[in-house]
């Protein structure tokens, strides 16, 4: 028989490890609670970036949605509150970075935290933009696939694929501008549409009302007018996306269904056209045809990557590139001395027997400086694309909560007098003369215009090629002058800009005339 003492010893040995285990669990729970309390206290004790107080329910939503040039409002708030400010739009926390230091500290140096995009319920979940190149998150497997394709197809060494189509479109732009300067912005959009449709899909745009161009422009209008922070209540309260469409107040569901179908058509229609042309053996060389004609057949994932990239290449620049070119033309009307100096440099380097090429850029320092100033004077996307904080962060004793929408105020940066003195003046020479205090020239505005960190624009080299070649070719062949009224008096255009995610000069009068018969011949020669 087993004695009572032995039994007691057995149970004591059995219970001892269990008690130690319970003690260990309690200890771990206590540690976890302590860490939680510490983090919560830190979260609550570290204040968010300062900013104007809005209403209790909607925050600063009315200011954000109702102010035409909200980037100027943000910059003005920054002079009072500091370079980093926070505002609320409904339930969305918006952080604005009004200085280059703050923008690079967060979006570049801490890109592992700030490289995500806001995943909104409306355009992300309901419409489907969260799979596209601009909105996809850093940790999505599509992100590295997009970057790899962009590096292979849109790096500086690949510009030879794009230059012929750009030059062809520029000639069409110049001829259209000479005959119809009143519709200048439409011609600039057509330039971008033609060159990108040709290089992306191998498709030649033959008319101003082209079907595929209309698809892309219609989609861009949706993005411009319907994607402001806090614009949709469902973004602030995502549970609303489960509300049945028949319920009162659920009209956003019908809007989302229509936009989803619209997006699918933008993605699919030109892509399927290329596939049909390839099947018929008559496809032109293009981004899509090169990707589809590789040694191995693409799987469904890879084909989706090509389809999204192609759409992004076209849609992303359909408004931003014309915005820069419109800013350039406005300032040539207002600054004839700048125009004459650039034309003199072009005459001495390029001559009158051909149009400028990308290979001329290094020999055209003043024209290149003029391009930089066109970027700086009015950035096409003054607030850039929104970043999203992947986790809680603290920056200079300011708490930035996870999920915050973070914008670099590119307009404020490019109008910072400590970086660009006299910022309201269009002055290309600022990039050619060193500051006597710093012995440096101001930074190239491309550093800010094309984004930050891992979210830098994948199509920047293509866009920059279009802008440089268009500006150089226009100056080489044309004089951009003030328009005249019926009495023959010159009309000085006002400097006004549109609102929206992409901003451009409001329509203004001007005259565009050929510089010489030789210049006219260059524009009229066959492609």
Which residue ranges make up the annotated binding site for heme?
Answer: 457
Residues 6+ apart with CB under 8 A from 446: 372, 375, 460, 464
Residue 90 and residue 230 in contact, taking contact as beta carbons nearer than 8 Å: yes
Judged by DSSP in three states, 506 sits in coil
- Residue 217 in tokens: 């422009």
Give the burial class of 200: count Cβ atoms within 10 A of its Cβ; 0-12 exposed, 13-18 middle, 19 or more buried.
buried
DSSP H/E element including 410: helix 410-414
DSSP H/E element including 200: helix 184-201
Strand partners, 86: 95
Query: What is the rounded CA–CA span in Å between residue 351 and residue 347?
Result: 5
CA end-to-end span of the chain: 108
- Please state the φ and ψ torsions of residue 42, each to the nearest 5 degrees: -65, -40
DSSP H/E element including 7: helix 4-45
What is the greatest pairwise CA distance in the chain? 126
Query: What is the rounded CA–CA span in Å between residue 319 and residue 49?
Result: 32
Q: Which residues are annotated as a binding site?
A: 457
- Residue 168 in tokens: 């062809």
- Ramachandran area for residue 131 (φ above 0: left; ψ -120 to 50: alpha; else beta): alpha
Residue 31: count of CB within 10 angstroms of its CB: 10
Residues 6+ apart with CB under 8 A from 173: 187, 188, 190, 191, 470
Q: What is the DSSP letter of 295?
A: S
Q: Residue 97: which of 382, 373, 339, 521 has the closest Cα?
A: 382
DSSP H/E element including 367: helix 365-377
- Please state the φ and ψ torsions of residue 307, each to the nearest 5 degrees: -60, -45
Q: Residue 458: which of 134, 27, 117 has the closest Cα?
A: 134
Give the burial class of 271: count Cβ atoms within 10 A of its Cβ; 0-12 exposed, 13-18 middle, 19 or more buried.
buried
- Residue 300 in tokens: 């469904």
């Amino acid at each position: 028989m087993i004695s009572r003492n032995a039994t007691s010893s057995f149970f004591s040995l059995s219970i001892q490890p269990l008690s130690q285990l319970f003690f260990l669990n309690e200890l771990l729970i206590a540690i976890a609670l302590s860490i939680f309390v510490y983090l919560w206290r830190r979260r609550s004790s570290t204040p968010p970036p300062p900013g104007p107080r809005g209403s209790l329910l909607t925050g600063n939503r009315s200011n954000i949605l109702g102010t035409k040039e909200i980037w100027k409002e943000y910059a003005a708030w920054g002079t009072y509150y500091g370079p980093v400010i926070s505002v609320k739009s409904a339930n969305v926390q918006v952080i604005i970075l009004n200085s280059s230091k703050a923008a690079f500290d967060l979006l570049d140096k801490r890109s592992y935290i700030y490289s995500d995009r806001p995943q909104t319920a409306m355009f992300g979940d309901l419409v489907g933009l969260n799979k596209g190149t601009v909105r996809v998150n850093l940790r999505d497997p599509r992100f590295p696939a997009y970057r790899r394709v962009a590096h292979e197809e849109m790096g500086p060494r690949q510009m030879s694929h794009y230059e012929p189509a750009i030059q062809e479109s520029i000639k069409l732009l110049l001829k259209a501008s000479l005959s119809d300067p009143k519709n200048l912005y439409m011609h600039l959009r057509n330039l971008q549409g033609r060159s990108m449709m040709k290089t992306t899909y191998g498709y030649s745009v033959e008319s101003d009302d082209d079907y595929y161009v209309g698809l892309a422009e219609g989609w861009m209008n949706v993005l411009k007018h319907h994607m402001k922070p806090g614009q949709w209540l469902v973004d602030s309260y995502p549970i609303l996306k489960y509300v049945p469409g028949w319920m009162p107040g659920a009209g956003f569901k019908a809007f989302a269904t229509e936009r989803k179908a619209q997006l699918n058509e933008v993605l699919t229609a030109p892509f399927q056209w290329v596939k049909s042309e390839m099947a018929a053996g008559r496809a032109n060389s293009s981004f899509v045809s090169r990707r589809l004609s590789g040694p191995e057949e693409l799987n469904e994932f890879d084909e989706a990557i090509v389809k999204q990239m192609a759409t992004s290449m076209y849609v992303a620049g359909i408004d931003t590139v014309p915005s820069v070119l419109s800013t350039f033309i406005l300032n040539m009307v207002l600054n004839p001395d700048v125009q004459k100096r650039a034309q003199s440099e072009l005459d001495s380097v390029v001559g009158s027997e051909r149009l400028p090429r990308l290979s001329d850029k290094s020999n055209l320092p003043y024209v290149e400086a003029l391009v930089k100033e066109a970027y700086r004077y009015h950035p096409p996307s003054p607030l850039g694309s929104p970043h999203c904080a992947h986790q809680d962060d603290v920056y200079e004793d300011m708490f930035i909560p996870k999920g915050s929408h973070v914008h670099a105020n590119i307009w404020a940066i490019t109008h910072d007098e400590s970086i660009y003195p006299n910022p309201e003046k269009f002055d290309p020479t600022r990039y050619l003369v060193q500051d006597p205090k710093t012995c440096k020239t101001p930074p190239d505005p491309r550093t800010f215009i094309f984004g930050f960190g891992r979210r830098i624009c994948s199509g920047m080299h293509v866009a920059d090629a279009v802008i440089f070649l268009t500006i150089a070719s226009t100056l080489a062949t044309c004089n951009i002058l003030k328009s005249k009224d019926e009495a023959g008096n010159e009309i000085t255009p006002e400097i006004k800009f549109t609102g929206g995610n992409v901003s451009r000069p409001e329509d203004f009068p001007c005259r565009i005339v050929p510089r010489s018969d030789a210049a006219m011949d260059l524009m009229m020669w066959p492609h």
